[in-house]
Amino acid sequence: MRFLQEYRDPAPCRALLARIAAATTRPWTIMEICGGQTHAILRHGLDQLLPPALTLVHGPGCPVCVTPLEMIDRALAIAARPGVIFTSFGDMLRVPGSRDDLMRVKSRGGDVRFVDSPLEALQLARRHPDREVVFLAVGFETTAPGNAMAVQQAAREGLTNFSELVSHVLVPPAMAAILDSPANRVQGFLAAGHVCAVMGWREYEPLAARFGVPIVPTGFEPVDLLQGILSCVEMLERGEAGVENRYARIVKRDGNPAARAVVDEVFEVCDRPWRGIGVIPGSGLRLRAAYAACDAERRFDVGDIAPQEPRECISGEILQGVKKPDQCAAFGKACTPATPLGATMVSSEGACAAYWKYHRRDP
């Protein structure tokens, strides 16, 4: 298969669904890590076509959803300052902080702009040398290379008015935290193909061995996802642990060495809080000391901001696969896309937003 449409062809999907049904002899719970995978599964109705014994739960693979509340409030504090041009990917603008979001800051006169790339923020810094330009650098390993390159380039050019508010997170430690939890119900994983395209799957091998689980890197189209589910079920049925790549047209074992090199040069591993989950040791990236001049958290002295999550939002349980969105008492009532309580409803890749959009809720 070479073309996109072939990965949406009903014929191979039906064949894969039949094989999944034949292979599933007992109940299994599989987590798809990525929010993009969650939306694809619900958009194409794959969750409704799988055998009843097979349960899919939704993981913490949406960078908007897991960016901690304190980081949003730090962004809001910086964006409200005079002389600052605050930049972000568009889906971060409506993520609620403890009392506000970036769109409201913008409506009150803050210079908040959405950009498609951190390199656009770098261009703004060049064009406005009298202004402080800040980029909100969030995401998993997928976006880290581009954000690292922007910092690297700013340092090379001697730009002193460019910085990043960094809230990068790493997938393998989050998977380990889920599997370590007493409430864990996950028995196998569909790993995010775009993360693996950058980092490869080498880091998943010790994780699979330690916890005795199958981990299957896969893509985002129906055939990709069903191939991943089939591989995961077959490994579970055989009692096998390990990594089995089902996104071979994109993913290699060692990922993208050039992208990994720039990330390693600019960032270092740190402990990181995840929204609704808490601090996961070794699960984040921060700027190395050599690039401290580009660290907005230090430059604007906002590190002490630490608000509390709203109690009625259960996004943490949803992100860990403990509950599904329609099991939340606020879902579709106090919490809707127009009045979101948490980032899982705001984000275009959030599980709550997917359940709302694709009608996976009680009428």
Q: Which residues pair with 268 in a beta bridge?
A: 286
- Cα separation, 221 vs 193, in Å, equals 11
pLDDT tens sequence across 62-111: 888 888 888 999 999 999 999 999 999 888 888 888 888 899 999 999 99
Mean pLDDT over 221-233 rounds to 97
10 band by pLDDT with thresholds 50, 70 and 90: very high
Nearest to 270 by CA among 148, 137, 166, 165: 166
> Is-contact 134 86, C-beta < 8 A?
yes
Please report, for residues 76, 287, 348, the alpha-carbon distance to residue 99 in angstroms, rounded to integers and kept in the order given. 10, 28, 21
CB count within 10 Å of CB 185 equals 14
pLDDT of amino acid 198? 95
pLDDT of amino acid 168? 95
pLDDT of amino acid 288? 98
Handedness of CA 309, 315, 320, 323 (dihedral sign): positive
> Is-contact 121 133, C-beta < 8 A?
yes
- Cα separation, 220 vs 246, in Å, equals 11
Q: Which residues pair with 135 in a beta bridge?
A: 87, 164
Show the DSSP H helices in the chain as ranges.
10-23, 35-43, 63-66, 69-79, 102-107, 118-127, 144-157, 171-180, 193-199, 204-211, 222-238, 257-266, 296-299, 315-319, 343-346, 351-357
- Cα separation, 335 vs 306, in Å, equals 23
pLDDT of amino acid 360? 77
- Cα separation, 140 vs 143, in Å, equals 6
pLDDT of amino acid 363? 45
Tokens of 5: 């449409």
Percent of the chain whose pLDDT exceeds 70: 97
Options 3.40.50.11540, 3.40.50.80, 3.40.50.11750, 1.10.10.60; CATH for 4-62+171-243 is 3.40.50.11750
319 band by pLDDT with thresholds 50, 70 and 90: confident
Q: Lowest-pLDDT range, 27-31, 59-63, 71-75, 289-293?
A: 59-63
> Is-contact 223 9, C-beta < 8 A?
yes
Q: What is the mean pLDDT of the chain?
A: 92
Mean pLDDT over 323-341 rounds to 87
pLDDT of amino acid 97? 83
2 band by pLDDT with thresholds 50, 70 and 90: low
| Residue that the structure tokens 């600019």 belong to | 266
pLDDT of amino acid 307? 65
Class of domain 65-167+259-264+286-299: alpha beta
Whether the pLDDT of residue 185 is over 90: the answer is yes
- Cα separation, 292 vs 313, in Å, equals 35
Mean pLDDT over 43-55 rounds to 95
Please report, for residues 69, 94, 95, 211, 325, the alpha-carbon distance to residue 341 in angstroms, rounded to integers and kept in the order given. 12, 11, 9, 34, 12
Mean pLDDT over 163-188 rounds to 94
Nearest to 222 by CA among 47, 29, 23, 353: 47
Nearest to 281 by CA among 202, 139, 165, 176: 176
> Is-contact 333 341, C-beta < 8 A?
no
Instruction: List, by residue range, all CATH 3.40.50.11750 domains of the chain.
Output: 4-62+171-243
pLDDT of amino acid 316? 81
308 band by pLDDT with thresholds 50, 70 and 90: low
Question: What is the phi/psi pair of residue 225, to 5°?
Answer: -65, -40
Instruction: List, by residue range, all CATH 3.40.50.11740 domains of the chain.
Output: 65-167+259-264+286-299
pLDDT tens sequence across 120-171: 999 999 999 999 999 999 999 999 999 999 999 999 999 999 999 999 999 9
- Cα separation, 73 vs 165, in Å, equals 11
